[in-house]
Amino acid sequence: MKRNADNKRGPQRLKVAHLPNKAPPRLRLGGVQPSENMAASEYKVMCEGASKKPWAQGWRIELKYRVIDGDHTGVSLNQWIPIDASGVISPRSRYAAQCEIALGRPIEAEDDLNDPASFFTGRFFRAFIGFRKTEKPRGGIAKPEYALVWKDSSDGLRVHELLAREDL
């Protein structure tokens, strides 16, 4: 290719812009931080949002909840469920178990596991809320009893498990 005075590096390449295929969500505050006196326990929560996101180890489901009953009404909490990098969901996996609680029935082959919002968002649950299950911030031995105790400033409450689907 010939170079000219206007284009010293040769022909310019076109860049393709990736346009979003849907409008971005309307942003809003999802609740308040837990107070220091909020204990690990069972709480009634509502799922306000759910999505599948890339993560360091592959993919995970991110669920956003708000406590809707008792002294801690309005507290915002998260739940993260890792997904096998292969994309194959075992019927005995944590994700499958949580989907079955959300749906109120066993998962069927026709259910779209790629759309967690269709299972969780807008539904009410009784959930176990606790602190991290490891003694150390970045891993270590996980024990269920560790979820009952706040360990350090990097520890925080989160939804560990949906126990049952609830009605208002």
**At CB < 8 A and 24+ separation, what contacts does 84-92 make?**
84/58, 85/57, 85/58, 85/59, 87/59, 89/113
Whether 20 is in a domain gets the answer no
Whether 22 is in a domain gets the answer no
- The vertex-71 CA angle with 65 and 76, nearest 5°, equals 20
Whether 30 is in a domain gets the answer no
Whether 26 is in a domain gets the answer no
Q: Which domain holds residue 101?
A: 41-166
Whether 49 is in a domain gets the answer yes
pTM: 0.82
Whether 119 is in a domain gets the answer yes
Residue given tokens 């076109």 in the structure block: 14
Whether 3 is in a domain gets the answer no
3-state class of 117 per DSSP? helix
Whether 19 is in a domain gets the answer no
The Cα–Cα gap between 70 and 129 comes to 14
Tell me the pLDDT of the chain (168 aa) as tens digits: 555 555 566 667 777 766 667 788 788 888 899 999 999 999 999 999 999 999 888 899 999 999 999 999 999 999 999 998 888 999 999 999 999 999 999 999 899 999 999 999 999 999 999 999 998 888 789 999 999 999 999 999 999 999 999 987
Domain count, the chain: 1
Ordered DSSP codes for 74-115? TBEEEEEEEE-TT-PPPTTSHHHHHHHHHHTS---TTS-TT-
